[in-house]
Structure 1
Amino acid sequence: MYISNYRRKCKAVFLVFLLSLILCIFRLLYIQIFRSNYLADIAKKQHTLFVELEPFRGVIYDCNFKPQTLNFPADSLYASPNMMKAQDKEEAIIQLSGILNLSNDYLRNRLSRKKAFIWLARKISPEQAQAIKKLKIEGLGFLRESKRSYPNAYLASQIIGFAGLDNTGLEGIELYLDKYLRGGEGWGIFLRDARQKRLDIYEKLVLPKDGMDIVLTIDQVIQYIAERELDKAFKIHHARGASIIVMDPHTGRILAMANRPTYDLNEYKTVSKDQWRNRAICDLFEPGSAFKIVTASAALEEKRITEEDKIFCENGAYRVANHILHDHAPHGWLTFREVIEESSNIGTTKVAQMLGPQIVYKYVRLFGFGSKLGIDLPGEISGMIKEPRFWSKTSIGAVPIGQEVGVTALQLASALSVIANGGQLMRPYIISEIRTKQGEVIKRASPFLIRKVISLETAARISKILTGAVEEGTGRMARIPGFTCAGKTGTAQKLEANGAYSHNKFVASFIGFAPAEDPVVTIVVSVDEPHPYYFGGVVAAPVFRNVAVDVVRYLKTKQAVDSQMNSNANKRYH
């Protein structure tokens, strides 16, 4: 009996073990066949780390290859919440909130996620990184990335623009040419030890492709000169805004372009988006008397008048339909030359009446107003000019003197360059070259003729009239000892919300080129709502003078140095 019970118990135990063994075998087979890939992936994730490898963003240079942007290495802080103990997380929250100036709630939210890798702070300062490394908190680590920096801070800020945290262009050239500057991302799968620390051993690696470099037409020296003088005027005249453009009239190359207010590219997050705006190409304003160059050019080109023909300027008051037109000072008889020199609204309107709306409109469009010029920058607008069929009875006394028309500073610069270069409208451009890190040029810009606007003879005649406007007329404050300049003042009333012209809000402008007999630069200065003085000849003309004298001297010196260097190189070669 005893032996029989013993045998039954042994058999029962054996059966239990056998069933357990069979279940284990089936479980192992199930895992091996159906769950092997899933579990292998988990193991792989625990012992490997996928890391995106960021390329170095291309550098933006001025025309003399002076860097306007830089890339420097920066540490980015990450955490492995799955591998952190509760006390490590709490210590990290307390310590990091003070070092990184982050809220406890933000850090707690990040560290509570069940992930093996999560960013806590990107591209932090060296001081912050060093302070965190000293804490020696388990589960925290660093990856080296590149951070975009702008060595000249405020200089050409609205042209260059900026890139964001992920090195993606957000404004200006950084945005416009982002596909060239950004490069291609790489990636790597790195091994980790039992403590989840990354080892410098990779399983797979795809190297990033660095971005291409951009060479601008901007000259850093000329840009500095332009910004220095514009800033003075902006502050002295308590203006709402201001713009300046310096252009090579023969090619359309932009040598400088600046706006006020401006901002530090390294601190773009701390300013309003209004300061990011490139006012020179995207702000619309009525040009006032600066626009008279179009009417004057049309009259001479169409042979409706000569410089010495006399026009009666009605002693300062002239009726156009139901509107009384005034001059800033009463005039009697003036020659056509004096009409432009003295900026007579009445004399200019009478010349426009000789031409008629269709011809005036034709030349407005020929000079590039009312359409985009195609500059290689984001945000350019086309301006505004109504077709003659939409003109009112008073429009013939408004459009020719720069009212009922909206322009940009860039359009004024291109239009004046037509006169400076002998009658050709050139497409403005600011990007000279796109090149690889090895120096291979991928794209190179060249001057592009949009159309012929006026004859060489007409351009020369208008140039003489504009020289007189500086020497004897309203632009006297633009005169430069040592060489002559040609230019035209502009003072335009701004429109109020009710559609009426304001009596205390103006746009003061001056457009000019120098030297008058052989122009090397066209300069446009526009100042929005200056006070208490608001005339273009008082506010904007001195800016032109100060910029022109320094820029012309600089360009002549640069040309002389380049010629000497080329001469020395040729002597060595021979």
Structure 2
Amino acid sequence: MDLKLTQGMKKRILVILVALCIGVTGIVSGVLFKVSVIDSKELSAMATDQQQSSFDIKAKRGTIYDRNNKVLAQSATVWDVIISPGDIEKNEPENREFICKGISGILGTKYETLTEACKDTSSRYYVVKKKVDRSTVEKINNFVLKNNLNRYSVYTVENSERSYPNGTLAASVLGFVNENEEGYGIEAYYNSYLKGTDGRVITTTDAHGNAMPYDYSARYSAKDGNSLVLTIDETLQYYLEKNLEITVSQHKLANRSTGIIMNAKTGAIVAMATSPGFDPNDPSYVYFESDRLTLAKMSADKKTEEEILAKKQEIWGKQWQNKAVSELYIPGSVFKMFTCASALEEEVVSLDSTFECSGIADVAGTKIRCWNIGGHGVSNLTEAMIRSCNPAFIKIGQLLGVEKFSKYFEAFGFTEKTGIDLPGEADSLYVKESDMGIVELSSSSFGQTTKVTPIQMVTAAAAVVNGGKLVTPYVVDKIIDSDGNVVKSAQTVVRRQVISEETSATMRKILEDVVTANGGGNAYMSGYRIGGKSGTSEKIDDYNSGKTPELRYVATFCAIVPIDDPEYVMLVVCDEPTSGYIYGSAIAAPVVSAVFKEGLEYMGIYPQYTADELAQQDVTVPWVGGYNSIRAEAQLTAAGLKAEYIGSTDGTEVTGQVPSAGTVMPSGSTVMLYMGDIPLSDYRMSTVPNVIGMTVEEANKALSEAGLNISITGAATGSEAKAVSQSVNSGLVVYRGSVIEVNFLVNNETG
């Protein structure tokens, strides 16, 4: 049938066609708008993801130096070995097993693990091994080149590895970082400066997912982190840590020890240690023997893995904690220096004030005893400090009153953090002014109620002796970039003037008398002017709460050198000694003395001896073999020694001497000289007496009567000192004239 379109039909068809065109055009435009505008970022990212592969280049972390630019922490460039299962599948599937065998052979990894990883052909980035050295990278590169493998089938990526060349040294200050740059100590506090900015490598692929030539790759280099120059001195740090370790072992400390040496004028920390510490190269190793025994017992008792892991985490948390900054302790009698300074400043006491001690004080019905249960009788202010008399300082605190005591407690910085540039600084615990009654005031006055951090204590002690200025302690001297430019440098910050220079000068004199009283205490050193104060506090709250089965103590000593113009303040805290000794003067003061003996001249502080001190100095025995008696005696006399002859002196020469040349012994000691042909078998012998528990005078007499010489260490001339050890056991037979070293200790709460 011949179908003819009418004019109306043609118009309708035209309208429909126009509508369809408009509709299609609208849909296409809408899709284009959605793709190019609305979804452009998402689609672009998807395209980039399909066309590009990228990986990070780890930035090299900044180096940490001590104040003399010795490396304490550093990062070295290492490499991660990568395979691309996707590239292997597309470019050389026939080499898959060959590649897996070759790489596992070089790296010592499991072949089966690699072949399993290669099954994921959607992956272009599988880490075979992290942090390999340059020689291993060269082996990988040679393997790829020799076998003409695709560049992106096997490759290496730069990484960074942190190391601490001195092991445990300054670990509690330095801290450590893990692979995610999370950690402890300075590493954490200054992480934003140290970490740098990672770089990136972007590789372009073709439509089939194959890596394109180098021209289609981009590399954005990493920016290395800044470096830190600390105020810590590596040598002083070593001296401090070594001697803290000794006291931890000798006195069997149950809760570690800590020490700080701070520049009294600037606040710069030159040494800070916690012992036992840890090795930041292996921070998960448990270093405290008692903790290892605890874990071993848990294993023997068949505790669950979860229970053991929880205990390990608890131990690690404490092990990594910087005791000097993050743990509180009761200071004990060291705090008396602040009570004394405050009372002098307020003029409620003077050097002529007197105090009576019967051994116990009655404060509103509460009995508070003195460490000396027999009492001290009447003391002036200096004597009260030397004797560390609790009732005297209860009276001084009461003379100050709650308001003024609290005012100075705050002024010395005990109610706030010091602001030291280390993480985890703890807040102190103390009785607020509004809650303080006469009993709380009395016990706080001699340091038994308050809990503070060691860093608060040493900072406040500096203010007592440096002219009255409270400074902010710090451990980072400057920050430098990779080109050596100084990014930031530390400045001394004086927070406030706490006491006057006049009061500070008076306190310096009092604290020097504490060390030198009665001929010299455990911190006394011939030729040096040292001030200080000991402290022994009871951990009464731990005992009352049942945390410890018996009452335990904290032994402390704070020393200042030189006391006439203070340069350094040193604080040592020994937590929970279990050796039988408890006093700070007996446990902590010898640590101070040992560090000073090794370090003072290194610190630029040299001895200035009085005539009496010079007369008591040790001398070195000269060699007089082959000399006649006249010449030999002249040599010994010049050295400050005496001679005793065995055999005829008529025309004979010295054929033997005891002690031998090079031996160090006190001036005035006697050297036995054997003249002529006297065989060694005829040398005179002596039996070593037991001098433990004797005074210096008694021990010297006993050894002298046995024909032996004494060498005194420890509390050299203190009238309260008793011998605690001798270098040769009693009962042994030695050559007459031999030197026996005897260590003396003042075992009470006096300085």
For the pair 1:302 / 2:352, whether they are aligned, the reply is: no
Which of 60, 71, 83 pairs up with 1:67?
A: 71
Query: Structure 1 residues 236, 126: closer, same or farther in 2, change over 3 A?
Result: farther
Which of 165, 177, 183 pairs up with 1:170?
A: 183
2:261 aligned residue = 246
Q: Aligned equivalents of 2:349 and 2:140: distance in 1? A: 79
> Is the CA contact (8 Å cut-off) linking 2:189 and 2:423 kept in structure 1?
yes
Which of 449, 455, 459 pairs up with 1:404?
A: 449
Displacement after TM superposition at 1:547 (Å): 1.5
Give 3-state SS (helix, strand or coil) of 1:386's partner.
coil
2:598 aligned residue = 550
Amino acid at match of 1:527: C
The correspondence of residues 99-110 of structure 1 with structure 2, limited to 5 A, is 108=116
Q: Deviations over 1:26-85 (max 9, x none)?
A: xxxxxxx999x9999999878864232222211111111112122212121223233457
Q: Aligned equivalents of 2:513 and 2:408: distance in 1? A: 23
Give 3-state SS (helix, strand or coil) of 2:505's partner.
helix
Q: Aligned equivalents of 1:219 and 1:479: distance in 2? A: 24
Displacement after TM superposition at 1:523 (Å): 0.1
1:530 aligned residue = 577
2:476 aligned residue = 431
Question: Scaled by the length of structure 2, what TM-score is found?
Answer: 0.64
Amino acid at match of 2:568: V
Which of 161, 166, 179 pairs up with 2:175?
A: 161
In structure 2, runs of 5+ residues without a counterpart are: 1-31, 287-315, 607-751
Displacement after TM superposition at 1:389 (Å): 2.0
Give 3-state SS (helix, strand or coil) of 2:54's partner.
strand
1:317 aligned residue = 360
The correspondence of residues 227-306 of structure 1 with structure 2, limited to 5 A, is 227-239=241-253, 240-271=255-286, 272-306=316-350
Displacement after TM superposition at 1:435 (Å): 1.7
1:395 aligned residue = 440
Query: Structure 1 residues 231, 93: closer, same or farther in 2, change over 3 A?
Result: farther
1:80 aligned residue = 84
Amino acid at match of 1:63: R
Give 3-state SS (helix, strand or coil) of 1:476's partner.
coil
Q: Aligned equivalents of 1:474 and 1:431: distance in 2? A: 40
Question: Scaled by the length of structure 1, what TM-score is found?
Answer: 0.82
Q: Deviations over 1:237-259 (max 9, x none)?
A: 11121111000001111111111
Displacement after TM superposition at 1:286 (Å): 0.6
For the pair 1:515 / 2:515, whether they are aligned, the reply is: no
Displacement after TM superposition at 1:396 (Å): 2.2
> Is the CA contact (8 Å cut-off) linking 1:153 and 1:266 kept in structure 2?
yes
For the pair 1:214 / 2:228, whether they are aligned, the reply is: yes
Of 105-114 and 229-238, the range deviating more from structure 2: 105-114
1:341 aligned residue = 386
1:464 aligned residue = 509
Query: Structure 1 residues 119, 307: closer, same or farther in 2, change over 3 A?
Result: same
In structure 1, runs of 5+ residues without a counterpart are: 1-32, 559-574
Query: Structure 1 residues 40, 522: closer, same or farther in 2, change over 3 A?
Result: closer
> Is the CA contact (8 Å cut-off) linking 2:106 and 2:136 kept in structure 1?
no
Give 3-state SS (helix, strand or coil) of 2:564's partner.
coil
Q: Aligned equivalents of 1:391 and 1:101: distance in 2? A: 67
Q: Deviations over 1:148-180 (max 9, x none)?
A: 1111111111111222224x2522111111111
Of 235-244 and 501-510, the range deviating more from structure 2: 501-510
Query: Structure 1 residues 75, 548: closer, same or farther in 2, change over 3 A?
Result: same
Of 201-210 and 127-136, the range deviating more from structure 2: 127-136
Query: Structure 1 residues 142, 306: closer, same or farther in 2, change over 3 A?
Result: same
2:296 aligned residue = none
Query: Structure 1 residues 399, 42: closer, same or farther in 2, change over 3 A?
Result: closer
Of 375-384 and 470-479, the range deviating more from structure 2: 470-479
Amino acid at match of 1:51: F
2:159 aligned residue = 145
1:496 aligned residue = 542
Give 3-state SS (helix, strand or coil) of 1:381's partner.
coil
Q: Which has the higher contact order (CA 8 A, sep 6+)?
A: 1
Q: Aligned equivalents of 2:115 and 2:384: distance in 1? A: 71
1:122 aligned residue = 130
Query: Structure 1 residues 49, 372: closer, same or farther in 2, change over 3 A?
Result: same
For the pair 1:52 / 2:52, whether they are aligned, the reply is: no
Q: Which has the higher helix share?
A: 1
Query: Structure 1 residues 154, 100: closer, same or farther in 2, change over 3 A?
Result: farther
Q: Aligned equivalents of 2:498 and 2:168: distance in 1? A: 37
Q: Aligned equivalents of 1:368 and 1:395: distance in 2? A: 19
Query: Structure 1 residues 235, 524: closer, same or farther in 2, change over 3 A?
Result: same
Q: Aligned equivalents of 1:501 and 1:80: distance in 2? A: 57
Query: Structure 1 residues 134, 204: closer, same or farther in 2, change over 3 A?
Result: closer
> Is the CA contact (8 Å cut-off) linking 1:47 and 1:196 kept in structure 2?
no
Q: Aligned equivalents of 1:413 and 1:463: distance in 2? A: 15
Q: Aligned equivalents of 1:243 and 1:104: distance in 2? A: 50
> Is the CA contact (8 Å cut-off) linking 2:543 and 2:552 kept in structure 1?
no
Displacement after TM superposition at 1:114 (Å): 3.1
Of 465-474 and 148-157, the range deviating more from structure 2: 465-474
Displacement after TM superposition at 1:183 (Å): 1.4
Fraction of identical pairs, as percent: 30
Which of 237, 241, 251 pairs up with 1:223?
A: 237
1:12 aligned residue = none
For the pair 1:189 / 2:202, whether they are aligned, the reply is: yes
Displacement after TM superposition at 1:399 (Å): 0.5
Give 3-state SS (helix, strand or coil) of 2:488's partner.
strand
Query: Structure 1 residues 462, 41: closer, same or farther in 2, change over 3 A?
Result: closer
Of 401-410 and 261-270, the range deviating more from structure 2: 261-270
Q: Aligned equivalents of 2:578 and 2:394: distance in 1? A: 28
Amino acid at match of 1:118: Y
> Is the CA contact (8 Å cut-off) linking 1:475 and 1:537 kept in structure 2?
no
Q: Aligned equivalents of 2:115 and 2:262: distance in 1? A: 51
Displacement after TM superposition at 1:90 (Å): 11
Aligned residues: 524
Q: Aligned equivalents of 1:73 and 1:450: distance in 2? A: 42
Query: Structure 1 residues 376, 41: closer, same or farther in 2, change over 3 A?
Result: closer
> Is the CA contact (8 Å cut-off) linking 1:230 and 1:543 kept in structure 2?
yes
